[in-house]
Structure 1
């Protein structure tokens, strides 16, 4: 699968909604149309005037690079990568960027693809 067969429990209401919709599609699909449930996990938290978002499955030892904004501004997007693959994105008041990188994760983007995307943005 997308995340190397890792099992991960995601306890966010958005995941419950997506899983229910996927189950309904699966019940109504022909066998050849059925796909595995492998969304890019994500969550967010609004803390006063700050929106914090994380998508993917980053690990503490992944490569990490801020691709837009700065920590000092309290407005940035940073990406995570491992073994040449984009594994996650962290956004602090950058929701559009988080969604763009979440799609890159879903598409199986490489670390180099993600860095190239950052240079173009």
Structure 2
């Protein structure tokens, strides 16, 4: 396991992650830090714990919206694949590329959720 020190809301946290995931974890920590800082600028000094909870809920909401949108796009893709081609050249190739992109997006969303869950336990 690799170890990484990240700074969130002015505090340094040592986190463990899989080898090669350090940059990604660092990026996620910066995202959390930016959310907390944005909340601090918007609401002022209302307490670190409260700011952290508000940032976590905001990130969870953004994740849920992205996840819902991915599901909607997958349903639309399925509908397009099952419908008539309608004379659209390259439709199947286009649909396959979208399916791959959606699958990759879903995996990234899953990883973000796992990382957020893991960060919340530490």
What TM-score range do you get, normalising by the shorter chain? under 0.3
- Structure having the higher Rg: 2
User: TM-score, normalised on structure 2?
Assistant: 0.24
User: TM-score, normalised on structure 1?
Assistant: 0.24
